[in-house]
Structure 1
Amino acid sequence: MKPLYIIFSFILLVFASCTDVIEVDVPEAPPRLTIEASLDWERGTNGNNQTILLSTSTPYFAEQKIAPVLGASVRVTNEDSGAEFVFEDQNNGQYTATDFIPVIGDSYALEVIYNDERYTATETMVPVSDIVDVYQSTEDGEDEDALEVNVTFQDPPDIENYYFLRFKSEVDAFPELYYIKDEFIDGNEFTIYYEKTEDEDDDIGEFQPGERVAIDFYGISKQYHDYLRLLVDQYEFAGNPFSPTPVPLVGNCVNVDNPENIAYGYFRVTETIQTSYTFE
């Protein structure tokens, strides 16, 4: 057995000696301002309390994934009434207002001043349609035995509407996002279903009795719908060799003083319905 042991040790030594450390140089872009300005008016509330998040992008391998921005100036103006809402710096990347007044159909302008550069964006607050029913079934999905949650809403006739629907299970790390255009459903009831299919690689299982799903339903602008379409499509097709070449995802926040120094993120103002469903 001794000669065999020597040969085996020699093979291990050869393979170990052939191991090289490969260092990959990942190109780094300069940090850019990221603006997460989602002013969502939940139906049934006054909508006064709103928060805007500011951060800067970081290198891929950086230990600190989120770099909060401090000391910026943030304000939102209702362009129809002239009312101004100042968002106070909370010294953690959050900027808050407690006096915001949401008005359906009014246009709002965001202004962020950071590092002596001014970023602006405008959006119109769009109403959300009524949710008619939320229920479970096993009828529409890929697996006839898997549970699915269904959301039915009523689209108003003769109006171009766009919607954003967000499902978030309490046992999953990430939500499921849907963007909807009423081109083929104008004036009708329409149902969206969400079914989870089992995926061991991503640690995702089918819906189980007792599992709770948070549901957020938004009325959105066409501009935001188109942004979401790019965002969701690039996320879902990431890693697919047949997917289209990714394009830079630029929101509606424009750097007025230095257009080449673009900002990431988006400014939206929406009416939303928030509900949930627990599977039986």
Structure 2
Amino acid sequence: MKKFSYSFLASTSFFYWRILWGIGLLGLSACEKVIDIDLKDSESKIVIEGNVSDQEDTHYVYISKTVPFSASGTYNPVQQAVVDITESVSDSMIIVGGIGLKTERTFAEVSPGVYQVTHFKAYPGRTYTLHVKVGDEEYTASSTMPMPVMIDSIGTVTDDFFGDDGKTVGVVYQDPPGVKNYYRYLVTLNGKPTNLVFAYNDKYNDGKQVQRNLYHEDLDLKKDDAVMVEQLGVDEAVYRYFNGIQSNNPGAAAPANPVSNFSNGALGYFSAHTVSQAATIIQ
């Protein structure tokens, strides 16, 4: 699974001030000198990626730290964290001694920075809270799993792009009326998961039958490609996170980090979601 890591690396104004200062010194000297630009590394931040779904009973949490500008590596796993998940059920669903039922499980570290819990089934309508402790710092995120929305059909969508036929995949589903729904899509191409981000809400199609065409400039589909789509039903906070990634302009001078649902300044997200899958061969 692809990880994300975000870090604001250096102060732009500081960077340009040092350049101008160095050029000034160079102009005053008759001999050549090396201009030493002192780039400041940003503070390392915790990045947490956690998911539980209604289709699996084994779930994973990935914990790392952002990598400083001067570092040579790209992934910095966090080991020996304490990771727990709590399930809360409202009083209207299950009552135990007059209090909503709560269960708690602990994740085990199965490889550096990768934490796993097994035999843990998650259910729609319940709220899950992930607790992560790294040293003396604690991070918490909650996610409520929505009711599932199933894919009704899947197929090839062909459009004309400047005289050339472009192909993508489309799914059809019935959006529930009167309920705010948020969707995230995962696309697997010829058995290989892509890292493309698709996030949508039902603001303009509440209660309607929807055909969602998954267009992306990096999704280059050809005839006979095998495509699997997973439609995830997510809550609003998780939608905002992935919509933030989707909306970031790669050409921006300082793209913003997507809004995390974790406390205490951690980056990343925790999602409790439903899953509906469908597969097709591109025609």
The TM-score by the shorter chain falls in which range?
Answer: 0.7 to 0.9
1:54 Cα deviation (Å)? 0.8
In 2, Cα distance between the equivalents of 1:240 and 1:118? 32
In 1, Cα distance between the equivalents of 2:166 and 2:216? 8
SS for the counterpart of 2:197 is strand
In 1, Cα distance between the equivalents of 2:194 and 2:71? 22
In 1, Cα distance between the equivalents of 2:162 and 2:130? 43
TM-score for the superposition, normalised by structure 2:
0.76
In 2, Cα distance between the equivalents of 1:108 and 1:30? 30
The residue type paired with residue 137 of structure 1 is V
In 1, Cα distance between the equivalents of 2:188 and 2:34? 41
Q: Which residue of structure 2 lines up, in the alignment, with residue 272 of structure 1?
A: 275
Residue of 242, 248, 251 corresponding to 1:228: 242
2:38 paired with 1:29 = no
In 2, Cα distance between the equivalents of 1:173 and 1:118? 32
1:240 Cα deviation (Å)? 5.3
In 1, Cα distance between the equivalents of 2:145 and 2:164? 39
Task: Give unpaired runs (5+ residues) of structure 2.
Answer: 1-31, 90-100
Q: Which residue of structure 1 lines up, in the alignment, with residue 93 of structure 2?
A: none
2:84 paired with 1:75 = yes
After superposition, the C-alpha distances for 1:46-88 in whole angstroms (9 at most, x for unaligned) are: x211111111111235222111111110000012221111101
Q: Which residue of structure 2 lines up, in the alignment, with residue 12 of structure 1?
A: none
Q: Which residue of structure 1 lines up, in the alignment, with residue 155 of structure 2?
A: 135
TM-score for the superposition, normalised by structure 1:
0.77
1:177 Cα deviation (Å)? 2.1
1:170 Cα deviation (Å)? 4.0
Query: Cα–Cα, structure 1 residues 22 and 99, in superposed 2: closer, same or farther, change >3 Å?
Result: farther
Residue of 45, 53, 58 corresponding to 1:40: 53
Residue of 206, 210, 216 corresponding to 2:224: 210
Report how many residues are paired: 241
Query: Cα–Cα, structure 1 residues 196 and 76, in superposed 2: closer, same or farther, change >3 Å?
Result: closer
8 A contact 1:195–1:207 mirrored in 2:
no
In 1, Cα distance between the equivalents of 2:280 and 2:257? 36
8 A contact 1:196–1:207 mirrored in 2:
no
After superposition, the C-alpha distances for 1:170-229 in whole angstroms (9 at most, x for unaligned) are: 4988433222111221111111113455xxxxxx58421222223121111112212222
In 1, Cα distance between the equivalents of 2:172 and 2:161? 16
The residue type paired with residue 47 of structure 2 is T
**Percentage identity across paired residues of the two chains:** 24
Q: Which residue of structure 1 lines up, in the alignment, with residue 167 of structure 2?
A: 147
Structure whose alpha-carbon radius of gyration is higher: 1
In 2, Cα distance between the equivalents of 1:126 and 1:102? 11
In 1, Cα distance between the equivalents of 2:57 and 2:193? 29
1:24 Cα deviation (Å)? 5.1
8 A contact 1:146–1:195 mirrored in 2:
no
After superposition, the C-alpha distances for 1:114-145 in whole angstroms (9 at most, x for unaligned) are: 11111111110112311111011314767651
Cα RMSD between the aligned structures? 2.6
Residue of 122, 125, 131 corresponding to 2:145: 125
The residue type paired with residue 30 of structure 1 is E
In 2, Cα distance between the equivalents of 1:35 and 1:246? 20
2:122 paired with 1:102 = yes
After superposition, the C-alpha distances for 1:23-60 in whole angstroms (9 at most, x for unaligned) are: 65443112211101111233xxxx21111111111123
1:109 Cα deviation (Å)? 1.1
The residue type paired with residue 134 of structure 2 is Y
In 2, Cα distance between the equivalents of 1:272 and 1:36? 17
8 A contact 2:77–2:113 mirrored in 1:
yes
The residue type paired with residue 270 of structure 1 is H
Task: Give unpaired runs (5+ residues) of structure 1.
Answer: 1-18, 198-203, 256-261
In 2, Cα distance between the equivalents of 1:154 and 1:57? 40
Q: Which residue of structure 2 lines up, in the alignment, with residue 186 of structure 1?
A: 206
